[in-house]
């Protein structure tokens, strides 16, 4: 797992405004933090495909974008890596996990994801991209589905991680 920053202070404010206040111009700042991170530059050559954590289609329509997808496109452009935005799907419209405990998140996210075409991930080294890691439940569920589809490895990249997960 690679986290570019701690999820606190200015970074927490930037991410929150980017996601919920629809200040999409902040994407450039966040993207620059991500693509210039030393660890990402080290692992990027070994990555076969970039996969954003998907939003349910209703949430994507409501928000207007998928923040993880935008970050994935930034990584794709900078490192010239293929991206898969429609193969890992969120099939369950889960409630927001912001105020849920770890155990509530596990119940909420269980069986929320599905891989349409497993053969596309077989033997691949995947970079799974999300904005924030708090408990790791969402990332774990996505990684599980990717591994079940035959992925050789899954490396998680997040903009920020809560203190207790670094």
User: pLDDT tens digits for the chain (166 residues)?
Assistant: 999 999 999 999 999 999 888 788 898 999 998 999 999 999 999 999 999 999 999 989 988 899 999 999 999 999 999 999 999 999 988 777 777 778 888 887 899 999 999 999 999 999 999 999 998 999 999 999 999 999 999 999 999 998 644 4
State the fold for domain 2-165. Answer: Rossmann fold (3.40.50)
**HSE-up of residue 57 (Cα within 13 Å, Cβ side):** 4
Among the listed residues 37, 124, 115, 113, the one whose alpha carbon sits nearest the alpha carbon of residue 82: 124
Is the whole-model pTM more than 0.85? yes
**φ, ψ for residue 42, nearest 5 deg:** -75, -40
Would you say 63 and 22 are in contact if contact means Cβ atoms under 8 Å apart? yes
């Amino acid at each position: 797992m690679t986290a570019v920053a701690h999820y606190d202070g200015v970074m927490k404010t930037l991410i929150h405004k980017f996601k919920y206040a629809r200040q999409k111009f902040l994407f450039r700042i966040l993207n620059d933090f991500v693509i210039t991170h030393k660890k990402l530059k080290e692992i990027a050559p070994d990555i076969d495909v970039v996969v954003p954590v998907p939003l349910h289609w209703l949430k994507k329509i409501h928000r207007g974008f998928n923040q993880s997808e935008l970050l994935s496109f930034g990584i794709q452009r900078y490192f010239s890596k293929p991206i898969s935005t429609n193969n890992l799907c969120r099939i369950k419209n889960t409630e927001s996990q912001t105020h849920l405990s770890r155990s509530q998140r596990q119940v909420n996210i269980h069986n929320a994801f599905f891989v349409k075409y497993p053969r596309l991930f077989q033997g691949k080294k995947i970079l799974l991209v999300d904005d924030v890691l708090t408990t790791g439940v969402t990332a774990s569920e996505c990684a599980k589905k990717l591994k079940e589809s035959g992925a050789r490895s899954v490396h998680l990249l997040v903009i920020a991680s809560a203190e207790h997960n670094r």
